[in-house]
Structure 1
Amino acid sequence: MISMDGNNWEQLSADYDLDFNWNIQFYAEETATNVSANFGGNPTHIEEGQSVHFLDASIGATAWEWEFEGGSPATSTQQSPWVTYETPGTYDVKLIAKNGNDSDTEFRADYITVNAASGGEEIEVEVIADPGTSICESGNVLLTASATGGTGNYNYTWTWNLDASVVHGSQLSVSNLIQNAEVYLKVTSGTQEYNTSISLSVIDSPPASIVGKGSPETLLICPHADLEYQWYQNNSPISGATEQFYYPGENQTLSGTYYVETKNANACSSYSENHTIGTKSLSLSYEKYMRIFPNPSSGDFTIELSSLSDLEDIEELELSIYNLAGQEIWKAQLEHHFLSQVNPPLKWQKGLYLIKLKARGTIFETQKVIIY
């Protein structure tokens, strides 16, 4: 029998002249597909409780149907899913890649090997904070975790109490921190898990400002004591200008823009606002702070102090008297209320003496007195 359409069949002997030679060929029609299923797993050998990332490598697929023997989840329609295996053994994996009515299947027997957890020593984790866990305001810190024990393979997960950020890896970099924070670290190795927390505290920056003294200004003071100081002129550090005040002395070029950097005991620093002085080549006026009378003197004399309000923020202000040999023969500390007149209680020898008003090695004024 023969059929031309697959439905109607005829007997050759009854309906056709058998004197002819028939050449009958049969063809199997093959349906073409544009989809090719393929995948990889990373890793394929794990310990119980660990996960495998299955990566789709199919060609032409727009949908995926996975089957994971022994895995969780057991099935997935994601393109590249993560699967966790809790029980030791070897497991098959199957992927059906689809595109419309087209599909292709990739099956791999015993593709995943899951071993019992080796356990090992208990996990120990050390966290190092650079430069430390106490951070200057708007400062930075790098946290580095180092684990030992377990299986030797470690997964680090960082979180903190300020937001929902999650960071993976052995290091966490924190920048521009302006408030205290609690950082949490979880380390896993095989079936072991280690948790710890690190407290980061923010140290307030020191105050920094400038007060100009004198008219015209000849003295710059930072009104915040017990700090470290560095003065700048026109954005350049002034050599040796590391006191609470900056006094350039006579015949100095004062014009320019000044600011001071302050630093506290925790090495946190701040910068003051700019302070501009427009006077050039200013010589301090004679007898600005001291007037001596009588001068010359036959013995006793008086040192009259004035304009000392300019120096009220300076600590350790003192008067000293020197002979011509450079020996300091008298000294008096000046308190903040400042006496208007001072009478040095000495029996003077004839000669020339130098009287200096100074603080911390800086001389604000020098006067001469002659005893005859």
Structure 2
Amino acid sequence: GDEYLFVLPQQPAGAWMDYWFTAIDASDSLNMAQSDTSSYISGNYISYDNAQIDFVNSYGPSSLSLLNGTAVAITLPGTTDLVTALIRNYTDVNRPNDSMLIHVWDEVGGLPGTDLITPFKVFPEATLAEPNRITRVDLRPYSSQLSNLSGNVFVGFTVPTGEVWVSQTTPGVAGRTYADDGSIWANITDDYHFRAITDTFAGAPVTDFTYNSSADPLIAFSDISTNSPTSWSWDFGDGIGTSTSQNPSYTYTANGTYNVCLTTTNSVGSSTTCQLVTVSSIATVANFTASSTSFCQGTCITFADKSTNVPLTWSWSFPGGTPATDTAKNPIICYTTPGTYDVTLIVTNGGGSDTLVQSAYITVTSCPPPVAGFTALDTSVCIGDPVTFTDKTTESPNSWVWSMPGATPDSSNLQNPTVTYAATGTYSVTLIASNTVGSDTLTKANYITVNALPATPTITVGGSTTICQGDSVTLTSSSPTGNMWSNGMNSQSIEATTAGGYTVTFTDGNGCSATSDTTTIAVNSAPATPIIIAGGLTSFCEGGTVVLTSNTASGNIWSTGDTTVSITVSSSASITLSVIDSIGCVSAASAATAVTMLPNPPVPGITANGNVLTSDISNTYQWYMGSTLLTGETSVDYTITQSGTYSVEVTDVNGCSTMSNPFSATYTGLEDLPGKVQFKVFPVPSEGEVHLHLDAMERGDYLIELTNVIGEVIYTERMKDFSGKFMHTLALSEYGTGVYFVRLQSSGHALTRKVIVY
């Protein structure tokens, strides 16, 4: 609980110091601890940022900004030497740094001008552990160029290669940051954390003070600073007192040594000095505690001084105790006689003394001797198992002597010792327990039974210890029962499916265990799932094929049973493919490729109606005469112009085709009736009504017939010895949609017209 004050010695401006503290206590055994290391650079600090980091930026030819460099304007209120620059960089795993070229520029027109020093490279100090660590730039080697400076200078860097990251405050408030694009400097709104350390400013105050402690604890302070300071800031070092007076007085409330600091300021600058001030005239107030106030005779206890205001001497009185008096700060006193006792403490310091008497503070009772007792959690154990004996002695024992023949260790002075046994057998245990009054002995004969370890089990591998992903191998223990595998299974055999080491532990009826050696199973990854590449359409007409090819050159296993790289498929099927590698591992099956064979349409029939040949209904048609394709003849019917053998190829909606059987047709040669006869059939095609117009300018016999595609006569009109005009309307919608033929005959001649009703 003690506090210590350390003051670093004054150093010249720019001196870099690392410091730490080592503490060693007064224990019989060496106890030592060392603080973290701190760093300090001596001098006058100039900074404009608020130390808050909320953004980062980068410079250099590899940066997104492509900016060449950056600088911060430093204003020197008086003549001084620039000794150190501080630049807060940044880094993380995605933002590494390259070296920066350090510059100090003079001011030209409010912007960085010429270099005051020869630029030199420095690597940023930021690390992954300290990503915003400040980089320290020692400028003392350039003292001849950086001495007796005043006004504005610019501190910054350029980046020759790569990029350098900096920390910043966005938006900034100082307006002192500048960026260089390689041709011009521009002021930017961010505050970069660039700082300067200087020597004292010429004309700045040189702070100093004296103090008068004759009225301790009232201390009178007197400013003796030079160079006419205009303001003063005192810190009296107790965490409470401050003042802005030139010559204040301050009353301390506790004795101690305080680091008193004064900062003085004038129009040029400021400086600070500190002195240690000791206060010792506040009288101490006695107080103490004891580690115990009620205990058995023969007990020794510790008294702890709790007096305030830093006592310098202690005078204790302990009636009934040994020793009866003491001058130590925290004495140890023993009481051997039952009773009630006072304790007195007199403490003294430079402010006087104080006495505290605690009446009847200590109560010493007559306690009975101990009754020894102990237990063990398990009295039947295996060779090598730890056995912990737990003291159950009553009447406040304070020492223990254990005897444990056959154990390691075989004796102990601990209250609750732990031992092991290396051989089978039964063993006795003895405890002698003592307190301040006496002792007691307890022996438990044949208390511990030590059982032998079982035979170490072995593992039999039912195959190779290297398997393929998705496969398993059987591991079998040599013991039929009592097994516990390393994967948590408790059967005699297990199926190992994952890579790793497997052990089995056998436990016998006594609870004793033995563990097998490790059996290591390796699992090889399955080959990559293959891909089926189709060499054409996977949907084709009857009689067609498609070639399917694997993207793997070897080890192919098709669902058809083939093992080649490519297969030809001629019927409908769902095809999958797996691959087996050189060590026998099989991949997952590929995505299925569906192959569909489309049936060809039925063989079409052909009917003739005069010179008109008509096919069975299909999707598209192509007529042939012999083996010659009749160009443009793609309707359901075809009007022949000569006798011959004709056929039609029909194609269904799937694009599958079938050729009809050859059909022999005889051309009648009756295209026009003789004389002046006009015969019109319209409209064609028709939605249901068809009009017949006959204009016979020569008298004769006429026959008009309407037939369907299968030759059935639907309508007949006979006219004997007729001339003139004949008009008739046929309502074909009642017969349904389809193809019809109107035939006009007269004097051995005929004319046929096709009608389509939809």
- TM-score, length basis structure 2: 0.24
| Bigger relative CO (Cα 8 Å, ≥ 6 apart) | 1
Q: Which has the larger radius of gyration?
A: 2
Scaled by the length of structure 1, what TM-score is found? 0.44
